[in-house]
């Protein structure tokens, strides 16, 4: 029970149904619940999000779904109000929501740039901004931002994604430096390629998947729970002296 009594918001967490391909957020929400947390599942996918929260409750956990567009200040204010009114305080925030729209620089539209930066960079900023006052009231907290290995290195085809995830990485460090005095830790997790609802279609094509796996020393994709347990570490008190740090979970992809 590494998170017993703590309240957590996890964004992009709707896809957490048993027997289906889970996202990193959905797997994290389930892990958090098993470790004793009250979990706010925040997403745009209302139907599947409600089902995921219901499954967690049916299994004895504590979970509530809230509709959240991470680019909306109004939605963030509401999500945090739901968390604090339902469970008393906010201790953990996982900024996980993200999208992908691969393209090389010359073929990237301004709309694609704006949308990806809004969801991943602006969304992380807004969540952090509105979580900090509540975490300060609670005596501290943990913010875990899901970046990517492509927030550390360049990509041949994911120009904006790399930029947005790089922004998440360095914003995390700014948060850590500014709010250590408040007892608020901020760390980032950097997954490599994994099988999620966002990747299941392209990665079902061996012509797409095999060249990627050829660059991964462990020779396979990440399972969502493998990313979730990395997020759990930073969220828990076991990481009490870790802030501004980054955890790469990529099967050795960027070590090569």
Domains of the chain and any CATH numbers? 7-255 (3.40.50.720)
65 an active-site residue? no
CB 31 within 8 A of CB 225: yes
Q: What is the pLDDT of residue 256?
A: 85
Task: Say how far apart CA 135 and CA 137 lie, in whole Å.
Answer: 5
Q: What is the pLDDT of residue 49?
A: 98
Residue-level pLDDT, tens digit, the chain, 256 residues: 999 999 999 999 999 999 999 999 999 999 999 999 999 999 999 999 999 999 999 999 999 999 999 999 999 999 999 999 999 999 999 999 999 999 999 999 999 999 999 999 999 999 999 999 999 999 999 999 999 999 999 988 899 999 999 999 999 999 999 999 999 999 999 999 999 999 999 999 999 999 999 999 999 999 999 999 999 999 999 999 999 999 999 999 999 8
CB 35 within 8 A of CB 3: yes
Long-range contacts, stretch 44-53, CB < 8 angstroms, 24+ apart: 44/14, 44/68, 44/69, 45/14, 45/15, 46/14, 48/14, 48/15, 48/17, 49/13, 49/14, 51/17, 52/13, 52/14, 52/15, 52/16, 52/17, 52/26
| Whole-structure pTM value | 0.97
SS (H, E, C) 5-61: CCEEEEECCCCCCCCCCCCHHHHHHHHHHHCCCEEEEEECCHHHHHHHHHHHHHCCC
- Catalytic residue, candidates 65, 130, 161, 229: 161
Task: Say how far apart CA 237 and CA 164 lie, in whole Å.
Answer: 28
Q: What are phi and psi of 136, to 5 degrees?
A: -60, -45
């Amino acid at each position: 029970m590494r998170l017993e009594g703590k309240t957590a918001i996890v964004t992009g967490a709707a896809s957490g149904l048993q027997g289906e391909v889970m996202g990193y957020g959905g797997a994290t929400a389930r892990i958090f619940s098993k470790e004793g947390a009250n979990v706010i599942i925040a997403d745009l996918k209302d139907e599947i999000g409600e089902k995921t929260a219901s499954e967690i409750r049916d299994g004895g956990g504590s979970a509530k779904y809230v509709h959240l567009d991470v680019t909306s200040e109004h939605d963030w204010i509401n999500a945090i109000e739901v968390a604090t009114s339902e469970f008393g305080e906010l201790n953990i925030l996982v900024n996980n929501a993200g999208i992908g729209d691969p393209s090389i620089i010359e073929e990237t539209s301004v709309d694609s740039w704006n949308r990806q930066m809004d969801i991943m960079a602006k969304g992380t900023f807004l969540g952090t901004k509105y979580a900090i006052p509540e975490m300060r009231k609670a005596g501290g907290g943990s913010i875990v931002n899901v970046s990517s290995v492509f927030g550390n290195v360049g990509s041949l085809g994911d120009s904006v994604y790399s930029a947005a995830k790089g922004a998440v990485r360095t914003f995390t460090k700014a948060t850590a430096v500014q709010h250590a005095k408040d007892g608020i830790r901020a760390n980032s997790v950097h997954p490599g390629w994994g099988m999620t609802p966002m990747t299941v279609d392209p990665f079902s094509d061996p012509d797409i998947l095999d060249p990627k796996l050829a660059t991964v020393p462990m020779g396979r994709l990440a399972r969502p729970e493998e990313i979730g347990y990395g997020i759990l570490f930073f969220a828990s008190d076991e990481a009490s002296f870790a802030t501004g740090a980054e955890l790469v979970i990529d099967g050795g992809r960027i070590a090569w």
